[in-house]
Chains A and B, each alone.
Chain A
Amino acid sequence: MTASDFLQITLYFTLLIVLTPVLGGYMYKVFTGEKHLMTFVLGKPEKLIYKLSGIHPDEETNWKTYTWGLLLFNLIGMVFLFVLQIIQAQLPLNPAHLPNVSWHSALNTAISFMTNTNWQGYAGETTLSYLVQMLGLTVQNFVSAATGIAVLLALVRGLSRKSASTLGNFWTDLTRSTLYVLLPMSIVFAVILAGEGVIQNFHPYQAVHTLQGTEQVIPMGPAASQIAIKQLGTNGGGFFNTNSAHPFENPTPLTNFLEMLAILLIPAALTYTYGKMVGSLRQGWTIFMVMLILLISGLAIALYGEYSANPIFSQSHLMEGKETRFGITNSVLWSTVTTAASNGSVNAMHDSLSPLAGMVALINMLLGEVIFGGVGAGLYGMMVFVILTVFIAGLMVGRTPELLGKKIGAFEVQMAIIANLSTSLVILVFTAWASVSSYGLSSLNNTGAHGFSEILYAYTSAAGNNGSAFAGLNANTLFYNLTLSFSLLVGRFGVIIPMLAIAGSMARKNITPESAGTFRTDNWVFGGLLIAVILIVGGLTYFPALSLGPVVEHLLMIK
């Protein structure tokens, strides 16, 4: 690694830390309904939206109504996207005359984009029309991120309210986060990207003569607008198949840097918003630091894996699967960040990462996408571990465990366990199924431990709602489309529903004032403890699976 590599990593994290309170503070104002800069610009449209859709923005609901609203909204979005794909040939804005998508691929894609995963079993430029990309995928990119934020907001209200029965209004939260946070940021970012050379047009695909004298078809399309939200909303679904490794999606080092920053920006800032909303900025920062430490530790291992000499080829710096435009450091930083953040966009092929770097990507997802994680989803996922940590260790101070003055009881523990269990269940069971069945194994391009990693990676990515892939696996089969779809749903709603239930139950509780007898959740002791619980409870479950995948692969390589 060179000095400029270190400099760039330092710059990246410094900017992330600096922007966290800026954006976090702004979002606090948006979500608590305070007046802010954008109210003057977008206040009227907001009111208009409520009027047209018959929403009473200040009418609060209990957790059940909130959850039903959320589920219904997601279902409608999914059905719409599904239908759009299977009839795209009959719809306009399809200059490449792409045929209708198969039902199971369409279903997988619809679920994938609804769940903020953007797992792509298909190749964008050869499968989906411009209309589907814009009206289907991009819309879901916005609203799935907004859904994540809404769940987080409900949870925060549950934690901070005293003896209350309501958690806010889902439709208001959805509208505000889309209108005031995601839309303006995406517009600005899309313009910057377009300025740097990311394409944004409705041209038909261009046939060109290459220098070698052959003919090549170059896909076109409205990419910039989708890429902005794909990064900001931790969606990650590429306009083109090679995602951000494609020069039309990610043309320059600057776009590469900005896109990486965009991946973590909102999840990081939400920790600040959270801290401010629950009245403990220290707690927000503690969670931020836990995430940052886990991220940087993973990054260090991945960089070590990539930069240490590969004895098989007697050379270090393996460039297979990486863009020469970005180099190793930027590829590894991206792969670590995108898997930590449940984004899933890639600028290098993860299948070609060194076993250790690949393992870091896997672990980031296996831990439950809580290292910054998805927009909203990362933080509410982290709260599962916070609740478990408070409960396991909180007893050691001699009091019923409390989080923010609220006692954690059997119901909360049960819900947190369900949230934790649901992702483990689909990852382990489906990986086991795929690794012993012919329809699972026939999709593999690699043998040995690496093949096993590919299967594990697929289900982990789906259950973690990440969406990135170890590309060696052909996942566009009936078996994979369906089992992965199921994993996507469980990984998303298997956490959302228990967390909203926790929010509802916590809201009803009284708040015990803080004293010297309180188990503190806003200092380094708790931070360290939280890391230990994440690694032991979240990670140890997968120790055998990881041993048989990337660990053995690494050991075989260095032998």
Chain B
Amino acid sequence: MSTHQNTSSLFNQKIIFQAVKDSFIKLNPAVLIKNPVIFIVGVGSVLTTVIVVVSLFNGNFSAFNLQIAVWLWFTVLFANFSEAIAEGRGKAQADSLRKNRTQTMARRLVGGKEDVVAAPDLRKDDVVICDAGDIIPADGEVIEGIASVDESAITGESAPVIRESGGDRSAVTGGTKVISDRIIIRITSEPGDSFLDRMISLVEGAKRQKTPNEIALSILLSGLSIIFLLAVVTLPAFFSYSLSASGLPSSQNLTIPVLIALLVCLIPTTIGGLLSAIGISGMDRLLQRNIIATSGKAIEAAGDVDVLLLDKTGTITLGNRMATNFFPADGVSETDLAHAAQLSSLSDETPEGRSIVILAKEKFDFRGRDVHQKNAVFIPFTAQSKMSGVDLTDEKGVVHRIRKGSSEAIKSFIHNGNGFFPKKMEEKVAELAKMGATPLVVAEDNKVLGIIQLKDIVKGGIKQRFAQLRTMGIRTIMITGDNALTAAAIAAEAGVDDFMAEATPEDKLVRIRKEQANGHLVGMIGDGTNDAPALAQADIGIAMNSGTQAAREAGNMVDLDSNPTKLIEVVEVGKQLLMTRGALTTFSIANDVAKYFAIIPAIAVSLYAGKTEVGPLAALNLMNLGSPESAILSAVIFNAIIIVLLVPLALKGVPYRPVSANKALIRNLFIYGLGGVIAPFVGIKLIDFIINLFA
């Protein structure tokens, strides 16, 4: 996995500097109003400031009010800062991807003639030529030619990939470089609408569209703010009654700065301030994993996915089948069989053939033989013969014909040599096929030497991964073109919950629809054009970057690394994003308990005091805060500082563990719920202590 941008860049000076600057730019009311909770704080800051300024002229200046005003401004700035720094990090990530492209010149073909234009001036359906050494100017599709392309600029993978017209490998990405040959490309995106551009717009707070959960959460936060606003605006009336009941003058009623301080402490500023940063950093975390999402909604949906459709090849098993065992025939030693198998496979360039050579090498240390001395004639593997082998001429001039191939091919080979295929071997072949393996038979002249077992190798650790997914309530379905028997064997070995054998693209589409009708959300990853309908139908469709343009358009994410295992990581990022939001919401609301106990006794301390020094409500001062002023100030300061302190958490997300919902809930409740009740008691007390040191 390539997390180029690691946590150290969280404190990248340049980003921080820019974020500080942006925090002030974002004070623009037109920007601020998009975040209702912080907007209320902004209005409060302005009001308090006006009161302080007016008091300078009429001689009622209060240092306390000034401090409140300052900390209210800090609250707004800290909230802006959190969004700005998330944006900064996202942009830095995206910019590094985009850098190449902006300087690129393109050779556009118009009516058979070339003209050179800047890459950003290219329109959809323009046709451009790229020779070796050229940088591909924009996302497009190869319409003519074949070339090897270096995509390391966006994938970090150094090995070049082949891109050719037609078929499933026709899509090219802007910013990648042609290393050999010449291709003609039709541009498929309008300027500013490529995947990268869309992704960049998703990490820019101002242009970002809120996701469904974010909208719902914003409504909740706004609703809570209105409720607390009601509680605060009605308070002077309650106080007016209580003051007259205590025989105190109405001039002692609550001042506007104190009311604003109370309001700001009660409304959910912590989550309100960090909400945007959480969303942006979710996109950023995907980008770190080299996945480009075309909508924020998709990431959220990723957290909801409970059925994953996984292609067998590449995701569950290593790309190709590998030789795992030798089964010698009667009277043949395993060493002889391995020896013959290796010889017969030397000319087999397929991955399967190579794996046989390697197995023999690993098992019996056969290596470095000089086959040329033996007058060897190699018979390469062809699709027609389904065999490979070697003809060796020994010292006596006798030709030994060693062959390896499918049981049918070897059977006819032996029959042609008037040999016979032992019944025992035939049974073994059937048995291995039943287990899901591919048996290859090795023969010398008319004699069967034994069988090589080829098997799909299930990726290490994948079984544990699926078990984790199961504890998280996610069902995995393996998709394979294999027959049912083979599929079942691999499914059992890998520990998937279900499989689809001999699956056609139509089958996938039908299956996704069926799962969705039953209330499931389905995620899948695909690359071919014929995957496009299924990718579009799935709730999360991740298209591999190596796939066709059609697939990339149909999905809602593109994996630049073309690594099918990514689907699981995407789900984790989605879940982490939602968890972070929930955790900080809970924390924010739980904070209110302590703030009430700080402010209410402070503002009500004189009520019903009678002849005593302090009134009875001083008993609610559980934290034993120094003075009413320091109590209110401490609560406001805590409220502002906690936003900054939680910025790293908002950006990194809450620690994610693959456990069941119930375990995750208990854990998060303990940390953010209980912690949210206790932390402000400690924090406010501490700030109050410091304030009173200097008072």
B-binding residues in A (CB < 8 A): 162, 388, 391-400, 405, 407-410, 412-414, 417-418, 420-421, 424-425, 428-429, 431-433, 435-436, 441, 447-449, 451-452, 510-513, 515-520, 523, 525, 529, 532, 536-537, 540-545, 547-548, 551-552, 555-556, 559
Contact = CB atoms under 8 A, between A and B. Distances in A.
Contact of A529 (B475, B617, B669): B669
A552 B596 CA distance: 15
Contacts of A448: 245, 608
B535 interface: no
Contact of A410 (B215, B619, B664): B215
Contacts of B220: 388, 391-392, 413, 417
A449 B668 contact: no
Given A541-B228, A552-B607, A516 B519 contact: no
B231 A428 contact: yes
A518 B661 contact: yes
B600 A547 contact: yes
Contacts of B596: 540, 543-544
Contacts of B607: 548, 552
Contacts of A407: 304
A408 B608 CA distance: 46
Interface string B203-232: 000000000110111011001101110110
B75 interface: no
Interface residues of B, number: 76
Interface stretch (B371-379, B432-440, B477-485, B579-587): B579-587
B652 interface: no
Contact of B304 (A399, A433, A435, A532): A399
A397 B664 contact: yes
Interface stretch (B24-32, B233-241, B283-291, B552-560): B233-241
Contacts of A394: 582
A429 B230 contact: yes
Contacts of B223: 413-414, 417-418, 420-421
Given A525-B665, A536-B589, 5 more contacts: A388-B220, A398-B575, A447-B245, A548-B604, A551-B617
Interface in B645-692: 656, 660-662, 664-666, 668-669, 672-673
Q: What secondary structure prevails in chain B residues at the interface with A?
A: helix
A436 B241 contact: yes
Contacts of B669: 393, 396, 525, 529
A17 to B, nearest CB: 26
Among B216, B306, B471, max chain A CB count under 10 A is at B216
Interface string B398-433: 000000000000000000000000000000000000
Contacts of B151: none
A269 B395 CA distance: 98
A519 B579 CA distance: 12
A398 B240 contact: no
Given A399-B304, A517-B306, A555 B617 contact: yes
B578 A400 contact: yes
B300 interface: yes
A548 B579 CA distance: 38
Interface in B428-470: 470
A392 B589 contact: yes
B616 A392 contact: no
5 contacts: A392-B586, A396-B669, A398-B578, A414-B223, A556-B616
B37 interface: no
Nearest to B582: A395
B662 A525 contact: yes
A516 B213 contact: no
A532 B219 CA distance: 21
B358 interface: no
Contact of A517 (B219, B473, B583): B473
Contacts of A400: 212-213, 300, 303-304, 578
Contacts of A532: 590, 673
A513 B519 contact: yes
Contact of A393 (B217, B521, B582): B582
